[in-house]
Amino acid sequence: MRLVETKDGTIIEVFAKPNQPKFKVTLEGEDIVIFSTQEPVKNKVNKEIIKELSRLFHAQVELAAGSTSREKKFIIKGAAKAETERTIKEAYQSSGQFS
């Protein structure tokens, strides 16, 4: 997992795959892969990912980099790196994916 702690929260690096039948987040090796149901137009994918990550982390989430790229960075506001990593692992271990 690529996580970087900053003074504002933790930056999480993900790889987005748009136009998928179901929204889900998986771990592929050390990479976090997000399957988005939205089309990659008018910021729809980014909005869906922000909404779902906010729900998972119970925190404000903002796009930090990669607005038009499949490789994206999101900042989880006010979250420590250890807390973010634990949330991801717990959610993933409970179902093999998290959504």
Question: How far, in Å, CA of 21 to CA of 89, rounded?
Answer: 24
Locate the domains of the chain by residue range. 3-95
What is the pLDDT, as a whole number, of residue 98?
61
Tens digit of each residue's pLDDT (9 = 90 or more) over 54-78: 999 999 999 999 999 999 999 999 9
Residue 82 has pLDDT above 90, yes or no: yes
Question: How far, in Å, CA of 53 to CA of 97, rounded?
Answer: 13
Classify domain 3-95 at the CATH topology level. Answer: Conserved Hypothetical Protein Mth637; Chain: A; (3.30.1200)
Q: Which residue has the higher pLDDT, 29 or 4?
A: 4
- Which of the four pLDDT bands, split at 50, 70 and 90, describes residue 90? confident
Whether the CB-CB separation of 52 and 35 falls below 8 Å is answered with no
C-alpha count within 13 angstroms, C-beta hemisphere, residue 36: 23
Q: Which residue has the higher pLDDT, 27 or 54?
A: 54
Which pair of structure tokens corresponds to residue 7? 């003074």
Which pair of structure tokens corresponds to residue 83? 């807390």
pTM over 0.75: yes
